[in-house]
């Protein structure tokens, strides 16, 4: 078993991003700028946004955070997004999910200018990704591709089983792994809660991407020996063992699956760190006009 170490891979790529950001500053006189909007005070969302902002500073980006109470109206939020869309100093805009029930996440996603949609959730970016055109790739799947690349893992011809079909992780991951590219060139099976014989299907996976949201869902009896295991899950549980008062668990039973695998991502320290790298790469590409001039 070898570890796909998100700390190692993310630090290496962030060093490259920082150098490019410095060049961009020297040439343009400004820093790549990411804006985040956070509604409410969900513990997980607070942590993710704080980490995204901190990483921006680390690589020499400017970052701004707009916070709203849970009581913010949908109209107020959409108006703020429109305002940021028009701000020429902003390269990337993300709205941290989940949102309160009275706000339609689809409306929010579609209101963000697709040219600043560095989370890659806008239908224009997803459509362009389908067609293999330049676009912002959703940050988590992008981070997973960067991780596979960092470890020179050849995925060509492999059977990739993706568990979970969300718009932000599972579905785009399945499309990317089937693309004519490396990483990619896989035969892909996309599974979900209605899939029959899930265990038998996961057992066929040379690569298994688990994006379910259930602690330790993928167990050792479900994976074939030598499989590459990508664990996207972040399941937070309160804990008296840690200073923060909570502990993170993946969707994979790491202790028992790791000995059977050839490569595996840990949680924490795996895909989560790479998601931030995906976001930073998209923001830099936006600033440089590499995707949309
Ligand atoms: P969603 O809840 O949107 O999707 C979960 C998917 O898992 C759904 O497609 C669902 O199927 C499927 N599923 C649920 N139960 C089962 C089951 N018993 N058998 C098979 N499939 C099942 O989650 P996300 O994709 O947003 O996130 C998944 C996990 O990844 C979460 O833990 C989340 O916190 C984490 N995450 C981590 C990120 C990172 O940076 N590391 C980034 C984003 C998410 P169905 O569609 O049929 O309901």
Structural domains of the chain sorted by starting position, each given as residue range(s) with its CATH number in brackets:
27-113 (3.40.50.10860), 139-272 (3.40.50.720)
| DSSP output for 58-99 | HTT-EEEEEEE-TT--HHHHHHHHHHHHH-TT--EEEEPSP-
pLDDT of residue 286: 98
Q: Residue 96 catalytic?
A: yes
pLDDT of residue 293: 82
Cα(268)–Cα(271) distance, integer angstroms: 8
CB-CB contact of 89 with 33 (8 Å): yes
Residue nearest to atom 25 of ligand 1 (CA): 166
Cα(197)–Cα(160) distance, integer angstroms: 16
This model of the complex carries an ipTM of: 0.99
**Which pair of tokens denotes residue 232?**
């996207």
**Which pair of tokens denotes residue 29?**
């006189």
**Which pair of tokens denotes residue 268?**
């924490």
From the CA of 1, how far away is ligand 1's center (Å)?
A: 25
Residue nearest to atom 19 of ligand 1 (CA): 193
Residue nearest to atom 16 of ligand 1 (CA): 193
With 0.90 as the threshold, say if the pTM is over it: yes
Cα(208)–Cα(189) distance, integer angstroms: 10
From the CA of 163, how far away is ligand 1's center (Å)?
A: 8
Q: Cα 224–228–234 angle (5° rounding)?
A: 105
From the CA of 171, how far away is ligand 1's center (Å)?
A: 10
**Which pair of tokens denotes residue 92?**
């990337």
Within 10 angstroms of residue 213's Cβ, the number of other Cβ atoms is 14
Cα(21)–Cα(23) distance, integer angstroms: 5
One pLDDT digit (tens) per residue for the chain, 293 residues: 999 999 999 999 999 999 999 999 999 999 999 999 999 999 899 999 999 999 999 999 999 999 999 999 999 999 999 999 999 999 999 999 999 999 999 999 999 999 999 999 999 999 999 999 999 999 999 999 999 999 999 999 999 999 999 999 999 999 999 999 999 999 999 999 999 999 999 999 999 999 999 999 999 999 999 999 999 999 999 999 998 889 999 999 999 999 999 999 999 999 999 999 999 999 999 999 999 98
Catalytic residue among 52, 116, 158, 281: 52
Point out the ligand 1 atom lying closest to the alpha carbon of residue 44.
34
pLDDT of residue 105: 97
CB-CB contact of 270 with 4 (8 Å): yes
DSSP letter at 168?
T
Ligand 1 lined by 138 (C-beta under 6 Å): no
CB-CB contact of 126 with 266 (8 Å): no
Catalytic residue among 14, 116, 117, 119: 119
pLDDT of residue 120: 97
Which residue matches tokens 């849970």? 70
From the CA of 30, how far away is ligand 1's center (Å)?
A: 38
């Amino acid at each position: 078993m070898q570890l796909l170490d998100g700390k190692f891979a993310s630090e290496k790529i962030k060093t490259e991003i920082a150098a490019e950001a410095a060049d961009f500053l020297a040439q343009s006189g400004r820093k790549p700028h990411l804006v985040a909007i956070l509604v409410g005070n969900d513990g997980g969302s607070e942590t993710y946004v704080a980490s995204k902002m901190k990483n921006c500073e680390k690589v020499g980006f400017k970052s701004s955070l707009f916070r709203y109470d849970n009581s913010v109206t949908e109209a107020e939020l959409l108006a703020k997004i429109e305002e940021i869309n028009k701000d020429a100093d902003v390269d990337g805009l993300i709205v941290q999910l989940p949102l309160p029930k009275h706000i339609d996440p689809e409306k929010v996603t579609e209101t963000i200018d697709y040219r600043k949609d560095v989370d890659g959730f806008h239908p224009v970016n997803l459509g362009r990704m389908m067609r293999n055109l330049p676009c912002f790739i959703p940050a988590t799947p992008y981070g997973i591709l960067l991780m596979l690349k960092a470890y020179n893992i050849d995925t060509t011809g492999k059977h990739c089983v993706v568990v979970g079909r969300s718009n932000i992780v599972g579905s785009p991951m399945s499309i990317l792994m089937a693309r004519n590219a490396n990483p990619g060139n896989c035969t892909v099976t996309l599974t979900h809660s209605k899939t029959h014989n899930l265990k038998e299907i996961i057992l066929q996976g040379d690569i298994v991407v688990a994006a379910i949201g259930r602690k330790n869902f993928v167990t050792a009896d479900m994976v074939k020996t030598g499989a590459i295991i990508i664990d996207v899950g972040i399941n937070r549980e309160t804990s008296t063992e840690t200073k923060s008062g909570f502990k993170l668990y993946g969707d994979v039973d790491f202790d028992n699956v790791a000995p059977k695998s050839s490569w595996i991502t840990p949680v924490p320290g795996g895909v989560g760190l790479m998601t931030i790298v995906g976001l930073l790469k998209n923001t830099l590409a936006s600033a440089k006009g590499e995707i949309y001039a």
